[in-house]
Structure 1
Amino acid sequence: MFDKEKVLHICKEWSKNTLMETLEIEYIDAGEGFLKAKMPVNSRVHQPMGLLHGGATVALAESVGSAASVMFINHEKQEVRGIEIAANHLRAKREGVVYATAQIIHQGRSIHLWEIKITDENDKLISLCKLTNMILPKKER
């Protein structure tokens, strides 16, 4: 049975002392085949013209898509690696909040393909991303 609160708790714990914490990414919803997070848009994620940096948008998309793949693996035996991401930036954003929703497109044994929509507070599409994750055997550390 899917446990939304457990998934959100794990995502929050894994974000500590990482880029996700630096960018203030917060996981806010999860369900069968999707994960959603939000990120504030302010000077910390701006490019020089005062707009949301495409790299920050891609970091948000990859963070959400990779965390979403973790929902489908055996944590004891497997781990996730993002191997390709593509992003189309469609609308500028200066301030406020953006939301990233990762939806599974393909869930294979070794490859997961995600579509990640980045939207604003009014559900307008800011960026559309596609992420491919490889599922690998967990290595001893």
Structure 2
Amino acid sequence: MTLLRPDVTLEYLRKRQRGCLPELLGVELVSLESGALVGELPIRPELLAPNGFLHAASVIGLADTCCGYACIAHLPEGAKNFTTVELKSNHVGTAREGKIIAKATAVHLGRSTHVWDATVTNADGKTVALFRCTQMILY
């Protein structure tokens, strides 16, 4: 099993997102531990769909970012990076204000692929989406 890399910290990940989509979305990293990463996304009008509810792409952006950062933090020895090769999301709720929280958890940490799940909730703990992605490890 791949262990949490000691050189990948929340501050490292925060610096890495500067000037990229996660920063544009407003992703805020909360915690990182072995096998898991938590991030939040404050809801603002720009993240809503024209119907006034949170846009699915905003939810996916948070979930995919959290899973991707968790993958970076758990890359196997000798790996240089990763790329997402598959993702799926089931949206079972929504939000209009406050924040959403994603907790990414490891399902499979191999040398050639990782599989991560993320549960996205609103601030009250109600599930907004279930997300799964597969990453190909790059050497």
**Letter matched to residue 23 of structure 2:** E
Please tell me whether the aligned partners of residues 4 and 29 of structure 1 are also in contact (alpha carbons under 8 angstroms).
no
Deviation at 1:6, TM superposition (A): 5.1
User: Mapping of 1:1-141 within 5 angstroms?
Assistant: 7-73=9-75, 77-137=79-139
Map Cα deviations across residues 64-95 of structure 1 (whole Å, 9 max, x no partner). Answer: 10110011125874211011110000012111
Map Cα deviations across residues 36-76 of structure 1 (whole Å, 9 max, x no partner). Answer: 00001121110001111001111111111011001112587
Please tell me whether the aligned partners of residues 46 and 53 of structure 1 are also in contact (alpha carbons under 8 angstroms).
yes
Structure 1 unmatched ranges of 5 or more: none
Aligned equivalents of 1:75 and 1:29: distance in 2?
22
**Letter matched to residue 104 of structure 2:** A
Higher relative contact order (CA 8 A, sep 6+): 2
Please tell me whether the aligned partners of residues 79 and 137 of structure 2 are also in contact (alpha carbons under 8 angstroms).
no
Please tell me whether the aligned partners of residues 34 and 103 of structure 1 are also in contact (alpha carbons under 8 angstroms).
yes
The two structures have a TM-score, normalised by structure 2, of: 0.91
Moved over 4 A (4+): 1-6, 74-77
Q: Secondary structure at the match of 1:60?
A: helix
Q: Sequence identity of aligned pairs in percent?
A: 26
Q: How many residues align?
A: 137
